[in-house]
Amino acid sequence: MNQLNKILTVVAIFLLISCGGSQGEQQKEENSASSRDEIRLRQYKVQGAKIYSTYCANCHQDDGKGLAALYPPLAGSDYLLEDFARAACIIKNGQSKEIVVNGVTYSQMMPGNPISNLEVAEVLTYILNAWGNEGGLIGVKDVDKWIDECEEDY
């Protein structure tokens, strides 16, 4: 028993040391531009997850799989991944025309959302990087531009 404790302590110390080491390395990296984006991506994802559960999860579900032929999936959605600008417009303004997502036709109404462009960028970043999606970071400047140029026909 005592011996087990000793072993555990030793292992714990080792882990602490090795973790501390990698943290130091990370701090060095933070100075480079790519790691600034990395941090922003992480922040956007955290904020975006909150927005998602408040405004989106009812319909698209926590796992992003949608609901039957009523609400389309966001996880692995070909429609979403094909055009980020269009996705930003849908999130802001809603949509009700017929669309095809992963081979299934949807035509239920999605209402627009009373959220800022920054929040659109955050939630879009979240859905583009959750559930196996790999869309990367969406900056708020891009969203500003896209929202200005949204088509009328939704």
Partner 1 sequence: MTKAKYLFISLAIVAIGCTSTSTSGKLPIYGNKIFEENDTIYHTIEDFRLVDQDSSWVTNATFEDQVYVSDFFFTSCPTICPKMKQQMLRVYEKFEDNGQVSILSHTIDPKHDTVAVLKDYASKLGIKSSKWKFVTGDQDYIYDLGEKSYMVMADEDPEAAGGFIHSGAFLLVDKDRRIRGVYDGTVDEQVDILLTDIDKLLKEYESTK
Q: Are 79 and 137 in contact (CB under 8 A)?
A: no
Binder of residue 67, out of partner 1, ligand HEC, none (CB less than 5 to 8 A by kind): partner 1
59 binds partner 1 (CB under 8 A): yes
Site residues for ligand HEC, 39-98, by CB under 6 A, read 55-56, 58-60, 71-74, 77, 79-80, 87, 90-91, 95-97
| Amino acid at residue number 129 | N
Q: Are 110 and 90 in contact (CB under 8 A)?
A: yes
Burial 32-44 (b: 16+ CB within 10 A, else e): eeeeeeeeebeeb
The piece of 2-10, 15-23, 40-48, 52-60 that touches partner 1 (CB under 8 A) is 52-60
70 binds partner 1 (CB under 8 A): yes
Cα-trace Rg, the chain: 21
Binder of residue 17, out of ligand HEC, partner 1, none (CB less than 5 to 8 A by kind): none
Q: Are 147 and 113 in contact (CB under 8 A)?
A: no
Give the binding site for ligand HEC (CB under 6 A): 55-56, 58-60, 71-74, 77, 79-80, 87, 90-91, 95-97, 99, 101, 106-108, 110-111, 113, 123, 127
